[in-house]
Amino acid sequence: MSSEKMVRAAFGNNNVDTCARVCHSPTGYGLSQTFGTSAGTQDFKSVAKSDVIVVIGANPTDGHPVFASRMKRRLREGAKLVVIDPRRIDLVRSPHVEASYHLQLAPGTNVAVVNAFAHVVVTEGLVDSDFVAERCEGYEQWAEFIARPEHSPEAVEEITGVPASELREAARLYATGGNGAIYYGLGVTEHSQGSTMVMGMANLAMATGNIGRDGVGINPLRGQNNVQGSCDMGSFPHEFPGYRHVSDDTVRGVYETLWGRALEAEPGGLRIPNMFDAAVDGSFKALFVQGEDIAQSDPNTKHVTAALKSLDLLVVQDLFINETAKLAHVLLPGTSFLEKDGTFINAERRINRVRPIMAPRTGKHEWEIVCEIAQAMGYPMTYDHSSEIMDEIAITTPTFSGVSFKMLDEKGSVQWPCNANAPQGTPIMHVDGFVRGKGRFVETDYIPTSERSTRRFPLILTTGRILSQYNVGAQTRRTANVAWHPEDLLELHPHDAEVRGIKDGDEVALASRVGETHLHARIDDRMPVGVVYTTFHHPVTGANVVTTDNSDWATNCPEYKVTAVQVRLKKAAERHESSVASERLPALAQD
């Protein structure tokens, strides 16, 4: 909140963005369009009431292990599981857990699959007609659209690679198996149709009545501990806290009165990709980066680096000298969660107090440094304590009006909305009605991505995470966790490896139309033929050197999950038995 205030009031523009741009910005757009608010519908314990769990584009056991333990407990109790993912993740088959269906779709075809699910629901009479009639609008037009033959499982089988019979059976299971819950990750959002897919899942949940009670819902699995809070606090160019548009005169007037400054009314502030482009062309001069390693995490590393080097001033506030900080003109100290006094908001909209066990080692909290920057620029921005920032949020944001440090210290935590209408918070959203009034069905045309395999780049690269490393590894690479994952590996199907003369452990070159990097190969049939996979935790391999600037049509979320690539042998590994065994130990430890 303090950083957003600094940008809008002290900098005098709306050029503010967040790491959610590159992960769950399509969630915000898609759920806002259909349900009226930009967050997941359930609390985490809701999964204990689910009868059918659909996991789409997520790997909970590696990326969200705490929630995954809850999910696996319910699966061991008898809930059915459908996994929709190009890669055979551990949940497909692991001790005491096995998916009823693994729909191994081609990367980039999510929308075609969810439309086919909905086609089965509508054409086979599986719609919850009472729920739709009472709670939704736009159904008739959408139903006519989704019932068209081109959306049938048979019609999309050639596009998606998913057998029509399996898709039909999985759709019937979701629609008729009791409480149906959808959990999804970046394999949904990081596509050119990420926002479309989120709306498609919302359509499916509304059509089957799987909204507004325990055990159901649309549930994004967020990638960082406070990325939900960053979105909630208005860290996008077009939104104030609480997802209210900057062009709304009434809302903007609240902040202008409280902050004592006229604020920019146009929503045309720059998103992160726009900032990079403008920096390269010379019209964007300075950037303040707080707690985000954009030089490693954002796509097309070459372009990002060129943009950062083009700036007259790059200020980085962080814990470590990461890849972005190496390019900074000014490096300001950050604080760890052990030093912070504030709140984090997680994927279930839960507002958690964060209390320091020590004073900041650098002598100042991050918000104090932000205030001093604002003051140096002529804007009087001061707080005596971090609790006053939360008080300001409560005064200005209706969904947080009942929240204060005192209340959180007494209750422990609450889920927004927390206000006069919901003084104890809101574990389940849309119980009696949607935030926007009625849920809105939206037509979701499948439009193939422009990023396609060619003769020069015949494979498709998709990316993900691993349990032992976190994000770009700035923290976890400094721990003993490197024993399990000392480097990013490139997973290839045995067929793709054989035709290229590549064996397990070989060094390979991974190239796309924007760049090339080198990794060691891991031969594995988790991936289908024609698809390769890697993680992005180590800057030395730099997976994002090869990812492109293709992005979601609505939000500019990068299309990390579909990159046309070629793989070639660079250096064969030595085949001494002892050497191979030692190289494989870290990989075996993952399994």
Name the least confident of 52-56, 155-159, 213-217, 540-544: 540-544
Tell me how far apart the alpha carbons of residues 157 and 160 are, in angstroms, rounded to a whole number.
Answer: 5
Per-residue pLDDT, 1: 85
**Mean of the pLDDT values across residues 417-422?**
95
Tell me how far apart the alpha carbons of residues 550 and 567 are, in angstroms, rounded to a whole number.
Answer: 21
416 class by beta-carbon count within 10 Å (0-12 exposed, 13-18 middle, 19+ buried): buried
| 527 residue type, one letter | M
Q: How many C-beta neighbours within 10 Å does residue 581 have? A: 10
Give the residue from 186, 227, 430, 185 showing the smallest Cα distance to 345: 227
Identify which has the larger pLDDT, 148 or 544.
Answer: 148
Give the residue from 219, 217, 220, 184 showing the smallest Cα distance to 51: 217
**Mean of the pLDDT values across residues 328-343?**
94
Domains and CATH numbers, the chain: 2-19+225-346+350-415 (3.40.50.740), 35-222 (3.40.228.10), 459-590 (2.40.40.20)
Per-residue pLDDT, 485: 86
Q: Indicate the pLDDT class of residue 309, thresholds 50, 70 and 90.
A: very high
The pair of structure tokens assigned to 172 is: 């019937």
Q: Indicate the pLDDT class of residue 582, thresholds 50, 70 and 90.
A: very low
**Residue range 493-529, pLDDT digits in tens:** 999 999 999 999 999 999 999 999 999 999 999 999 9
Tell me how far apart the alpha carbons of residues 419 and 70 are, in angstroms, rounded to a whole number.
Answer: 29
Name the least confident of 246-260, 371-385, 463-477: 463-477
Q: Indicate the pLDDT class of residue 475, thresholds 50, 70 and 90.
A: confident
Pairing of β 180-184 and β 52-56: parallel
Tell me how far apart the alpha carbons of residues 460 and 449 are, in angstroms, rounded to a whole number.
Answer: 12
Residue 489 parent element (H or E): strand 489-492
Per-residue pLDDT, 453: 93
The answer to whether 25 touches 557, Cβ cutoff 8 Å, is yes
Helices marked H in 151-300 — which ranges? 153-160, 164-176, 186-189, 194-207, 227-232, 249-259, 272-281, 294-297
The rounded percent of the chain whose pLDDT value lies above 70 is 97
pTM: 0.93
